[in-house]
Amino acid sequence: MQGHPRKKLNVNRASVVHQVRYAARHPERVVPYLRRTARDLWLRAKHRDHVSYYRAVMASDAGRNPEAAVGSQSHERWLALGLMQFDYLKQHGLAPEHRMLDIGCGNLRAGWRFIDYLDPGHYYGIDISPDILVSAKRTLVTYDLQPKLPYLTISGDLTFDFLPDGHFDVVHAHSVFSHSPIEVIDEALSHVGRILTPGGFFDFTFDRTEGREHHVLHEDFYYRTETLVSLAERRGLKAQFMEDWERLPHGQSKIRVTTGG
């Protein structure tokens, strides 16, 4: 599977020129985009901070289709993306005895596989959306995972202030920073080192650009790799771009950070 085509990595999706050309190529997507634009304007007027805004976005999306709300347009794709995340972490250090924090766990697209694999009580999922966590509980029932005693908790920020020091071997955030402004990412990187065990790691995906950093509406954010690596290093973390993730059929990129302790 090929990685990210360079032409896509240099596209500024927020530019008017790009949007006009895209609309000409995909006229069937114009009306849905206009609806998203109207929703963006309405929700930004109601919610001044990004977490509250995106919680409202998730409520809107989850009300229509919880699987689509986490980025899967079909159940088959939902299963495939969850398996991809699980297989990658298993091949890159995740073990059953590890304690795992899954940031933005959603409706457990990958989480149900992590829960099934990890020892009982070793999975902790957090999300900003109560609506998607209701769907997550349904996923637990679907896969008969109640005996694994996972923790599922709503969170209003990424300070992790309610979690203990040095507790998690693995912290994971898939398709979270792709929807986050830089100050939210910095908040997570400022605090994740405290909750990691010595030798633990934090894997996160992001929408990568090699051109100008930008966002589309207030839902999709595109960052240069060096921006996020530098941000992690300023917080005392070591950051590594995961080249082998690029070969997988997913549009985002991945960085792993460790405390170096």
Residues 6+ apart with CB under 8 A from 164: 195
13 within a domain of the structure (yes/no): yes
Given this model, what pLDDT does residue 126 score?
97
How far apart, in Å, are the Cα atoms of 140 and each of 70, 72, 135, 152? 16, 18, 9, 11
Candidates 151, 162, 215, 154; CA nearest to 185 is 215
**Domain interval for residue 176:** 6-258
154 within a domain of the structure (yes/no): yes
153 within a domain of the structure (yes/no): yes
1 within a domain of the structure (yes/no): no
Averaged over successive runs of 10 residues, the pLDDT of the chain (261 residues) comes to 55 81 83 87 90 88 73 82 96 97 96 98 96 93 97 95 97 96 97 97 96 90 97 96 93 93 53
Q: What is the pTM (predicted TM-score) of this model?
A: 0.90
Q: Which H or E run contains 255? A: strand 253-258
199 within a domain of the structure (yes/no): yes
Q: What is the CATH number of the domain that holds 210?
A: 3.40.50.150
Q: How many residues does the chain have?
A: 261
Work out how many domains the chain is built from and give that number: 1
